[in-house]
Amino acid sequence: MEESRRRYRQAYDAWQAQPAAPLGVLLEGHRLDPPRLKGLRNQEALGEERYDSARRELLGLWD
């Protein structure tokens, strides 16, 4: 159980850090070329998938 909690916290923290760069582009007008912007979005999506997986494991909900 402790390992599940650790994985959950680690995945949650990483997921919460991901939106910072895309938000800078959207809200503050930072310029990025399209491949870099797509890469940032893909990283955000992957972080969310890891978080969801860790959350389901912690709650005992398996894929």
The residue segments making up the domain with residue 41 are 2-59
**Cβ neighbours, 10 Å, residue 10:** 13
Would you say the pTM of this structure is higher than 0.75?
A: no
pLDDT band at 63, cuts 50/70/90?
Answer: low
Sequence letter at residue 49: E
Give 1-60 pLDDT, tens digit per residue.
889 999 999 999 988 877 666 677 777 777 878 898 888 888 888 988 999 999 999 998
Q: Dihedral sign for Cα 46, 52, 55, 59, please.
A: negative
* Residue 63 and residue 56 in contact, taking contact as beta carbons nearer than 8 Å: yes
Residue 62 has a pLDDT of 73
In angstroms, the CA 25 to CA 38 distance is 12
Domain tally, the chain = 1
In angstroms, the CA 8 to CA 55 distance is 6
Residue 1 has a pLDDT of 81
